[in-house]
Amino acid sequence: MGVSDIHINLVKELGIWVKQNCLPSEHHSMLLDLPETTLGNNPPIIGGFIPDLYMKSNRVIIGEAKTAGDLERQHTKDQLSAYIKHLNQQHESILIIAVPWYRVPLAKSIVRNLLKRLDATRITAVFLEKLPGQ
């Protein structure tokens, strides 16, 4: 099954956030999982999953984009758990979540519950607001 245009646009929004909120010197280490990404420039596998965005410079940033229908699946919770465990081992880390605007409250609830359950106190969670999608 191919990646939907909605998912691709959400992944691109993750990259835009990094470019707007991180130092230009960090941008070179940003890896995005997009159809046009060349082999070898994909994000690394973390806990058996490939995040939509990965950046490691003086901090580690993982970004995950989810369409409305994917957010409540067990696969998503397993992915996010793996990413949170990885980020919690870093000195400074950020988890960015991109979902359609009307799913942000649910995304916040899922991520905050996982952060609490996994005792992940070092992670800053960022939720992109006002994004379109279905």
**pLDDT of residue 59 exceeding 50:** yes
Q: What is the dihedral of CA 98, 95, 40, 79, to 10 degrees?
A: -80
Whether 124 shows a pLDDT value over 70: the answer reads yes
The residue extents of the domains of the chain are 5-128
CA distance 12 to 48: 22
Whole-number pLDDT of residue 32: 96
Q: What is the pTM of this model?
A: 0.94
Q: Give the residue among 20, 96, 29 at the shortest CA–CA distance from 62.
A: 96
What are the structure tokens assigned to 93, written together?
Answer: 């880390």
**Going by DSSP bridges, is the β-strand pair 60-65/93-98 parallel, antiparallel, or unpaired?**
parallel
Q: Of the given ranges (24-38, 52-66, 115-129), which has the lowest mean pLDDT?
A: 24-38
CA 31 – CA 8 distance, rounded (Å): 14
CATH assignment of 5-128, among 3.40.50.1220, 3.40.1350.60, 3.40.50.300, 3.30.43.10: 3.40.1350.60
What one-character-per-residue DSSP string does 89-131 give? TSSSEEEEEE--GGGHHHHHHHHHHHHHHTT--SEEEEEE-S-
